[in-house]
Structure 1
Amino acid sequence: MQNFPYPGKPVRGSTTGKPTMALFDLLGRRWAMGVIWQLNLCGPCTFRELQSRCETISPAVLNARIKELREALLLERCEQGYQVSELGKQLTTLLSPFPEFSEKWAESLASLDKTTEPNNECD
């Protein structure tokens, strides 16, 4: 039984369950990206360590995300607790440009805030 958005089945944003939409649905769940990001960034760790790394995550949410991400083959158990799987590593490689992009995006928003008033033409 799948407890995560599964390709080929209806998911948020797609009645057909296109694989991309199923992945976006999974990664869009609360703390899913944070869990993957922390394990990729800092390496394998126990449940308690991961909860500490994620700071405000509740044990129930962390447990649910770990279960879903393991079923989705993005995380796996290891001697140290949990780690990103090979498939999860491929995903994090695809996401590796995000930090640089997010910094540029934040700078653009900050400079926009300083130079212009909001455009409310459509209001």
Structure 2
Amino acid sequence: GRVRGWTRRSAGGFLSGTLTVSGAPSSLRLRYRNEFLLAYDGRRLVASCPDLLLVVDVTTRRGVSNWADDLHAALGSEVLVFQAPCHPLWRTGPGLALFGPRHFGIDAEPVLLGPEPVP
């Protein structure tokens, strides 16, 4: 898809915001807090931390970072969004408590690749 929008704010030592990627048949909205944490297709959560959510520029083959000085430079760039499985320890109850969606105030079950989380 193509980068269609960025938001960013700095508060409490964190960069937070959204990245919107449009493509056929729908758009993805990625929320971040220093790292990409959640991916939504419309209102549906389709990927989440603690898995890795990666955004790569198709032309440069470099990662797209929300830490860039000029976020608007990425607008219109063609990107791929990947989800990579986290280490198995993050899939445990204690791991999800430290880095799952609820840790960031999102009342949702994690959406992970690979085996189901272990309690």
Q: Give me the TM-score of the superposition, normalised by structure 1.
A: 0.23
Structure with higher strand content: 2
Q: Give me the TM-score of the superposition, normalised by structure 2.
A: 0.23
Compare CA radii of gyration and give the structure with the larger one. Answer: 1
Structure with higher helix content: 1
Higher relative CO (Cα under 8 Å, sequence separation at least 6) belongs to 2
